[in-house]
Amino acid sequence: MELLGGGRTSRFQRALVEEQGVAVSAYAFSSSDSIATGMIGVGATPASGVSLETVEAALETELAAFLAEGPSEDALERAKSNIAAAAIYARDSQTAMANWFGASLVQGMSIDDIVGWEARIRAVTRDDVMRVTDTYLNGQNHVSARLLPGETG
């Protein structure tokens, strides 16, 4: 999800925001902090004058392209590096550390899991990414939510 919409060089930013100019922002996230199923999601805010249909279609197109092509080696390295570096930055904050430990332990993970986070991120391969993408983002049923303007009096 970092590759798709995590930051400045993500696919959504480059394609939807910069090249096509159809969105002013786009994001992709994964939320795995739960005991049952996790959730992944993508979204975007359209630029002025652009319809939600256009933006949704652009998201779908970019997702399909990612499914077909996968990430470049550079992009994969950057994504892994930034997720791993976030673990170092997190050490600056007692609150962040406490939340991380607490949330992980509550869900049944171990301290070794937390300690080993950086190493596990760095060990992710392109094949891993494509396998997960195919499992969760390829043709799965998904829910779309659109925020529309209200009826004004």
Partner 1 sequence: MKFQSLLAAFAANVLAGCALAPSTQPEEIDAEAVMEDATSGLANVEVVESPGGVTAWLVSEPSIPIIAVNAAWRGGSASDPEGLEGAANLMAYMMNEGAADLDSRAFGARMEELNMAFGCSVSADWTSCTLRTLSANADDAFDMMRSGLTETRFDDEPMARAVREKLVQLKQSETSPRAIARRKMNAALYPDHPYAREETPESVSAATREDLIERRDVLMARDRLLVVVVGDITAYDLALKLDDVFGALPATSDVVEIPEAVLNMAPATPIVAPLPQPQTLISFSAPGPKRADEDFVPAYVLNYILGGGGFSSRLMDEIREKRGLTYGIGTSLRGSAHLGLWGGRTQTKNESVQELIDIAKAEIARLRAEGPSDKELADAKAYLTGAYPLGFDTNSKIAGQLMYVRQNDLGLDYVATRNDLIDAVTREDLMAVADKYLDPEAFTFVLVGEPKGFE
User: Is 120 near partner 1 (CB under 8 A)?
Assistant: no
With contact defined as beta carbons under 8 Å apart, do 118 and 24 qualify? no
User: Is 122 near partner 1 (CB under 8 A)?
Assistant: no
Measure the CA angle with vertex 105, ends 85 and 27; round to 5°. Answer: 45
**Cβ 99 to partner 1, closest distance in Å?**
12
User: Is 152 near partner 1 (CB under 8 A)?
Assistant: yes
Beta bridge mates, 27 = 43
Q: How many binding residues for partner 1 (CB under 8 A)? A: 33
Cα distance between residue 146 and residue 54, in whole Å: 12
Interacting span for partner 1 (CB under 8 A) from 30-38, 52-60, 93-101, 128-136: 93-101
Which residue, 90 or 132, is less far from partner 1 as judged by CB? 90
User: Which residues in the 30-69 window bind partner 1 by CB under 8 A?
Assistant: 45, 47-48
Rounded to a whole number of angstroms, the CA Rg of the chain reads 18
User: With 0-12 CB in 10 A as exposed, 13-18 as middle and 19+ as buried, what is 41?
Assistant: middle
- Report the interface residues with partner 1, using CB under 8 A: 7-9, 14, 17-18, 21, 24-25, 45, 47-48, 74, 77-78, 81-82, 85, 87-89, 91-95, 97, 111-112, 114-115, 152-153
